[in-house]
Structure 1
Amino acid sequence: MADFQKENDDWKNVLRSEIITALTGSSQEKKQAYSQIGYYYLCSAPASLYKYYSDTSLKLETVRENKLWFSAPCNFNDVFDCDISIDEKELFNCVLKMLPDKVTIRPGSPMWCNLKGEMGQQVRKLKTTFKDLRETTGISCLSESDDSLLMWAHYADNHCGMCVEYNLLELNRQLSFTPVPVVYSDDRVRFCSLKPETVEKNSLTVFIQSITTKSLEWSYEREWRIIQDKGACGDRWNINNKGALLDMIVPSSVILGCEAKQEFEKAVKRYCEASKINLYKMEKDKALYRLNKHSILEFD
């Protein structure tokens, strides 16, 4: 099953690569990349993405006002999330390989120590840059799935909250958001090149990869991420909470958890009726460990 899933998700690696090229490549590379991104959004990507919420009045108000919270990665609960591995030994070997042909440097010699010191300065600068990006980049996390038992338990207050559906293509059309699929892997994202002519581009590429790569243990989330830097958030960036509440499109539907409390359900229903948004509620399947969605309100 895992191999089948990986095979079906190979296109996500390609889509992510094209998005990175669109952000870091030359004009011609960007033009071609945008064409490929459009293809994958139209032909391979899910029609909808979902955001899980707990059953608080604040969360409902966020949805009601068509807003979405973007949080800096430093707030996330995964210690490896957006954390880039820098192997200084491997980097130094790369530096030595960049020396002219037939030049050898004795370990411990003045030149060797000088090169190692310069590399150390660059590494410290890189670590500071990545740390700053982890504190000033806004990310909102969504999922392909609206019926994950784990997602409902972890992010919707043990099935008491709600799951909100958003149309992926409308995100792009109305807000120019570019949702990026998360790639799941056993291998951490590593920075391993200090070539002067490419170090800046490599830094941005590796940072985006780190934002969109997670351990295989998180693969049940089927996650996509929308990324906005501090500049894009502007004066809406909250320095204390390290995040921003940004505009979002109108939901396609809202799904209540199977354990939603009556008061919360009534509040959500009033919102959906007033806004003509489809409303559903999950029910526990009587034979399988599965959630089934049944309709409460439908307008289309």
Structure 2
Amino acid sequence: MTGGGNLVLVGVLRVTGMGLDQGVAMGLYKYVTADTAKRILKGSIRFTQPRAFNDPFELLPQFIVPENTVDHVGRFKFCVISPRRKGLDRSHTPGDDQFRSDIQARNIAANLNSTLGILCLSRNIDSLLMWGHYAGEYSGALIEFDEGHEFFTGLNPVKYQKRRPVFNLSDFYDQPVPISDLCVKSNSWSYEKEVRLVRSAEDLSDTGKLMNGYPVLTMDIPLECIKSVYIGERMSVENQKELWRLVKDTNISLSLAAVANWDYSFRYELIKYSGPLTSSPIISPRTAHIFKDDPSQFGEMARWIIENHKMSEFVNKTC
């Protein structure tokens, strides 16, 4: 049997900053730390290697390798943009466990670590778990993207299921196999409602930095595909001010996700509408601290609200 073969990526894309008119586009979300939010708003986003994810089962299906399988000299070819193929999973079919293992998958994954990066996004706009796990325990931000922008060409959803997927190794020989075939996760992760964008490492920039032992690979992201930014409840005022500076001259809307006074939910305090800023930002008792040092009339208004509004003390109590 082949020991994983030589991997080739096809379907490589080099995207530009032009948007596409695709009718009504859906929103995509990413929960990030404050520092990551700043980097994205400055035009750079990270694509992560599979083994750098927090789930050790990433891209690790089982493969059926029958006893009579002979050495295969062909190379594995993977496509970064094709949708998942249907009807290949044999996890529901009884079989001899001695012919099923993830050895081949581990060999493939090891090669993929050096050949591609994955951008993980979500359809879930109000996940308390993701705010805690990925957004610096509510000190980060939630960024909404425009799926209709060509930057997201090749976007594919993660499949969630009870059983670990089982594929026949022969289904991966001598044909461009979608990376999305391997993007199957346990139902335990289904709350993330994850969708993924995969790119070849050739299209990514190596920053020269390491994170968890892996090179940090990035791609330029156009601001036109960012729709909204939601500031986390626990984000520091200094970081809130920085995010305001980064979005105020863009078409990106800005809100603060403050803990509501009822239920396990947030109240979203709008600071800036989408589109150009044509007048003043929306200043409330909860957001006034962002503007209190501004030398303009915004600062004067913010200071008055902090000192005089009857709700100012209450809404700024630490949660």
Same fold flag (TM > 0.5): yes
- Per-residue deviation, 1:124: 7.3
Contact 2:50–2:109, Cα closer than 8 Å, also in 1: no
Match in the other structure for 2:291: none
Q: Is residue 267 from structure 1 mapped to residue 239 from structure 2 by the alignment?
A: no
One of 181, 198, 201 as aligned partner of 1:209:
181
**TM-score normalised per structure 2:** 0.61
The whole-number CA distance in structure 1 between the counterparts of 2:173 and 2:243 is 49
| Deviation of 1:276 (Å) | 4.0
SS at match of 1:252: strand
Whose helix fraction is larger, Structure 1's or Structure 2's?
1
Q: Which runs of 5+ in 1 are unaligned?
A: 1-21, 24-37, 97-119
- Name the structure 1 match of 2:222: 249
Q: Over the residues paired in the alignment, what is the CA RMSD in angstroms?
A: 3.0
Determine the C-alpha separation between the residues in 2 that align with 1:257 and 1:54: 9
Cα displacement (A) at 1:125 = 7.2
* Structure 1 counterpart of 2:140: 161
Give the total of aligned pairs.
Answer: 222
Q: 1:218 to 1:125 in 2, by over 3 A?
A: closer
What is the percentage of aligned positions where both structures have the same residue? 24
C-alpha separation between the residues in 2 aligned to 1:185 and 1:242? 31
Counterpart CA distance in 2 for 1:71 and 1:243 is 7
- Structure-1 residue corresponding to 2:50: 73
Is residue 161 of structure 2 the alignment partner of residue 185 of structure 1?
A: yes
Task: Give the deviation of 1:148 after TM superposition.
Answer: 1.0
Q: Which has the higher strand share?
A: 2
Give the Cα–Cα distance (whole angstroms) in 2 for the partners of residues 266 and 92 of structure 1: 63
In structure 2, how many angstroms separate the alpha carbons of the residues matched to 1:187 and 1:237?
37
Q: 2:193 aligns with which of 222, 226, 241?
A: 222
1:147 pairs with 2:126 = yes
Cα deviation 1:11-69 (Å, max 9, x = unaligned): xxxxxxxxxxx96xxxxxxxxxxxxxx9xx868xx71101111123xx24412222210
Q: How does 1:30-41 map to 2 (within 5 A)?
A: none
Change (3 A) 1:140 1:238: farther
Answer whether contact 1:135 1:242 (CA < 8 A) is retained: no
